[in-house]
Amino acid sequence: MALPANWRIAESIRTLQAQLRPLAPSAPAVAFGTVADSAHSTSSDHYPRVFAGLGSQPVVTAGDFPKAGDLDPRAP
């Protein structure tokens, strides 16, 4: 699957990932995935698409996060 050129990740996904990363220090990097791979269809929110109101640049509006057991409320 070829991705559209010049896509970006929605800022809300970036913000949430930045907030959760310190709470999951042992979670693998793939637990914070965003863009589609071959397992995703082009209808997935992990695939960059143009949305009305967000401009003409394709946007990924989904993110992967560690399972709840990997989040440590005691982490800094």
pLDDT at 73 over 70: no
Spatial separation of the C-alpha atoms in residues 40 and 57, rounded to whole Å: 20
pLDDT at 61 over 90: yes
pLDDT at 4 over 90: no
DSSP letters, 18-70, are HHHGGG-TTS-GGGG--S--TTS-TTSTTS-B--TTS-SS-EE-------GGG
> Six-digit token pair at 55?
């401009």
pTM of this structure: 0.76
Provide the residue ranges of all domains of the chain, joining segments of one domain with +: 8-67
Split at pLDDT 50, 70, 90, the class of 24 is confident
| Residue 9 φ then ψ, to 5° | -95, 140
